[in-house]
C-alpha cells in the first residue's frame, strides 16, 4: 500500500531506458534458466517487452497499422450463484440480471433459510417466457447442493455472497474441479470514521442506520465506529438516544424498525458476543439483552470505551450491536481501521475534502463512503479486499 500512495509522485524514469542496454544480458539469463534458444529470447524480450514498457512509460497504445486488435466480450457460459439469507431477493437479482443480460445461463442455490423468495422469482421468470434451462433454482444445503455446484465440471463460474469460511471452501472446490472463475463477496468488520469537524447529526444518523439496518445482518454493517476524541462524549450520547428510540417488533408492521434475528444460531452468537463485551471491559450504554420471552429479538445495543483487542471489535457480529471507540489522529485511525483481516467497506464523515480523500486512499476497503452510508450505485463495482473476498460485482 505504500507504493500506491507514492508512485504518482516519483520522477518519470522509464524502465525502458534501464533495459535498452542489458537486453542481451537479460536474454542470456532467460536462456540459461529455461533452455529457450537465444534468438527466441531476444525476439521475446525486445519485441514483446519493449512495447509493454513503452505503454507503461507514455500511457498510449502500441499498435501496428497492419493489424486490427480488439477485445470481444463473450458470455462466460453456465454460471452458479450461491446467495445469502439476509437479502434473498436483492442478492439474487444482483447476480441474475447481469448474467442473463450477457447471454449466460444461471443455476441458483439460495440459502436454505430463505429459498421461497428465489423459487417465486423463478416462477415469474418462467411465466415471462424465458426458455427452459436459462434460470434454474436448486434449493438445498451448502454441504450438498452448494458443494455440488462448486465442484461441477460444467459450471464455468461461481458467484458467492456469504461467510468467509464458506467462501474458502468454494474457492478450494473450484480449484479442485475445473478451475472455474470465482467471485466472492464475504464478511466485513467495517470502520466508520467520524472526524471532529463532521456534521454530527448526519454522522450519528448514518452510523446508526449503518449498523442497525436489517437487524445488523449486513456484511457492510458499520460495526466499528471510530470517533475523534473531541466529539466522542456527544456522539455516544446521541447514538444512545437513537438506539433507545428504535422500534423493535413485528416485521410486518410498517412502523417497525427492527425485527427478529434470522434463527436461533445467529441469535445465540450475538448474545455470546454481547456477553464477551461486558466481560472484556467495554461499557454497556444500552441494550445488551434479548427482548421479550418469545421470538429472537435483541435490544439495540451500544458499547463505548471499546478497545481493539475485544471480540466485539474484531469479530463480525452480524447483529444489532454498535461498538464505539475514540481516536486522536488520522495516522492512528488509519492504522487501527486497517488492522483487521477484512476489507469490504468503510465510511468517513468530515467537512474537509482533503481529509476525506486522504482517508479514502489509505483505507484498505473495496468501497469507501464519504458523508453517507450504504449508498449503492449500479454503475459502481462492489467487492472487498483481504478476507472480504475477491472479484467485483455490479
- pLDDT per residue of the chain (394 residues) written in tens, 0 to 9: 455 555 555 555 554 455 555 545 545 545 444 554 444 444 444 444 455 555 555 544 545 566 777 899 999 999 999 999 999 999 999 999 999 999 999 999 999 999 999 999 999 999 999 999 999 999 999 999 999 999 999 999 999 999 999 999 999 999 999 999 999 999 999 999 999 999 999 999 999 999 999 999 999 999 999 999 999 999 999 999 999 999 999 999 999 999 999 999 999 999 999 999 999 999 999 999 999 888 999 999 999 999 999 999 999 999 999 999 999 999 999 999 999 999 999 999 999 999 999 999 999 999 999 999 999 988 899 999 999 999 998 7
Which residues are known to be catalytic?
A: 185
Q: Specify whether the CB–CB gap between 92 and 135 falls below 8 A.
A: no
Model pTM score: 0.86
Nearest to 197 by CA among 302, 337, 345, 348: 348
100-126 burial, b for 16+ CB within 10 Å, e for fewer?
beeebbbbbbbbeebbebbeebbeebe
The rounded distance, in Å, linking the Cα atoms of 26 and 40 is 12
C-alpha cell at 149: 455446484
As a whole number of Å, the CA-based R_g of the chain is: 25
Amino acid at each position: 500500500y505504500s507504493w500506491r500512495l507514492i508512485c504518482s509522485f516519483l520522477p518519470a524514469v522509464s524502465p525502458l531506458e534501464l533495459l535498452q542496454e542489458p537486453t542481451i544480458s537479460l536474454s542470456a539469463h532467460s536462456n540459461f534458466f529455461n533452455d529457450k534458444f537465444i534468438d527466441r529470447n531476444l525476439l521475446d524480450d525486445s519485441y514483446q517487452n519493449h512495447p509493454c514498457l513503452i505503454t507503461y512509460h507514455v500511457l498510449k497504445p502500441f499498435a501496428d497499422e497492419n493489424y486490427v486488435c480488439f477485445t470481444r466480450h463473450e458470455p462466460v457460459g453456465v454460471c452458479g450463484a450461491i446467495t445469502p439469507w439476509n437479502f434473498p431477493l436483492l442478492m439474487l437479482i444482483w447476480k441474475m440480471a447481469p448474467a442473463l443480460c450477457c447471454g449466460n445461463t444461471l443455476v441458483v442455490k439460495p440459502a436454505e433459510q430463505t429459498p421461497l423468495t428465489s423459487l417465486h422469482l423463478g416462477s415469474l421468470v418462467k411465466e415471462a417466457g424465458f426458455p427452459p434451462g436459462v434460470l434454474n433454482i436448486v434449493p438445498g444445503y451448502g454441504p450438498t447442493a452448494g458443494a455440488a455446484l462448486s465442484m461441477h465440471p460444467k459450471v464455468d463460474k461461481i458467484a458467492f455472497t456469504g461467510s468467509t469460511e464458506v467462501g474458502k471452501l468454494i474457492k478450494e472446490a473450484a480449484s479442485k474441479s475445473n478451475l472455474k472463475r470465482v467471485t466472492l463477496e464475504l464478511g466485513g468488520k467495517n470502520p466508520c470514521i467520524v472526524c471532529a469537524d463532521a456534521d454530527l447529526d448526519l454522522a450519528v444518523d448514518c452510523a446508526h442506520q449503518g449498523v442497525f439496518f436489517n437487524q445488523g445482518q449486513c456484511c457492510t454493517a458499520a460495526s466499528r465506529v471510530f470517533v475523534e476524541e473531541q466529539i466522542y462524549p456527544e456522539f455516544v450520547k446521541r447514538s444512545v438516544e437513537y438506539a433507545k428510540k428504535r422500534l423493535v417488533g413485528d416485521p410486518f408492521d410498517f412502523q417497525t424498525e427492527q425485527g427478529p434475528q434470522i434463527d436461533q444460531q445467529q441469535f445465540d452468537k450475538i448474545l455470546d458476543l454481547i456477553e464477551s463485551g461486558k466481560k472484556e471491559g467495554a461499557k454497556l450504554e444500552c441494550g445488551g439483552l434479548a427482548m421479550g420471552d418469545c421470538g429472537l429479538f435483541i435490544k439495540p445495543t451500544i458499547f463505548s470505551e471499546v478497545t481493539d483487542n475485544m471480540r466485539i471489535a474484531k469479530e463480525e457480529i452480524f447483529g444489532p450491536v454498535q461498538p464505539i471507540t475514540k481516536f486522536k489522529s488520522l495516522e492512528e485511525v488509519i492504522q487501527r481501521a486497517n488492522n483487521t483481516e477484512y476489507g469490504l467497506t468503510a465510511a468517513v464523515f468530515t467537512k474537509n475534502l482533503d481529509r476525506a480523500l486522504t482517508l479514502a486512499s489509505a483505507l484498505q476497503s473495496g468501497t469507501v463512503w464519504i458523508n453517507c452510508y450504504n449508498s449503492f450505485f449500479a454503475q459502481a463495482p462492489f467487492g472487498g479486499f483481504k478476507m472480504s473476498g475477491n472479484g467485483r460485482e455490479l
